[in-house]
Amino acid sequence: MKDKILDKSTEMFLTLGFKSVTMDDIAESLGISKKTIYQHYKTKAALVEAAVLYLFDSICNGIDFICEASENPIEELFHIKKFVSEYLKDDKSSPQFQLKKYYPKIYDRIIWKQFEVMYDSLKENLEKGIASGIYRPEIDIDFIARIYFSGMVSVKDTDLFPSSTYIPSVITEKFLEYHIRAIATENGLKILNEFINENNN
């Protein structure tokens, strides 16, 4: 039952938002009493934290699979962006900044976990790109990995980029293209342009 509660609440939090989903809503959707949920999760905040960690682990597993299967570092980044965007239902909401607004302590914990994982993954991506002649050899790997993470977090800030003007999944793709154009060699730019043209047709 604990796993069912976690699965359903995670889905509802992503679709409807961390703030608007109540314990009553979750209980009703599962056809159980609210008391049953509280037997497994003492507070809504505890359930939110469990859901966020569950999401984090699921996304990390998906990213690992993409990194193993991708043909080159540029495609890898686009496939990861698409996977994460679809998994987090980014076209409908910005769950990351709902979390920051309503559950800041949980947000602070998860953002550093994200940084640790993304930093290592990005360094590996950059190293592969340099080795294959797709990224420029003189780039500062540590700086680029950090600035990329910072940018990806910032473009999800709905105060900076209001959802009435910017679709979250579109703006992350724009930032990704901006990032690659800043570090790519001529060969890398050719691969990037071909990839964009193929996926826009």
Output the average pLDDT for the chain.
90
pTM of the predicted protein model: 0.84
- Count other C-beta atoms under 10 Å from residue 167's C-beta: 14
Contact 66, 59 (CB under 8 A): no
145-188 pLDDT, tens digit per residue, is 999 999 998 888 888 888 788 887 788 889 999 999 999 999 99
102-155 pLDDT, tens digit per residue, is 999 999 999 999 899 899 999 999 999 999 999 999 999 999 999 999 999 888
The share of the chain scoring above pLDDT 90, in percent, equals: 65
CA distance 154 to 179: 14
- Domains of the chain (ranges, CATH numbers): 46-200 (1.10.357.10)
CA distance 50 to 41: 9
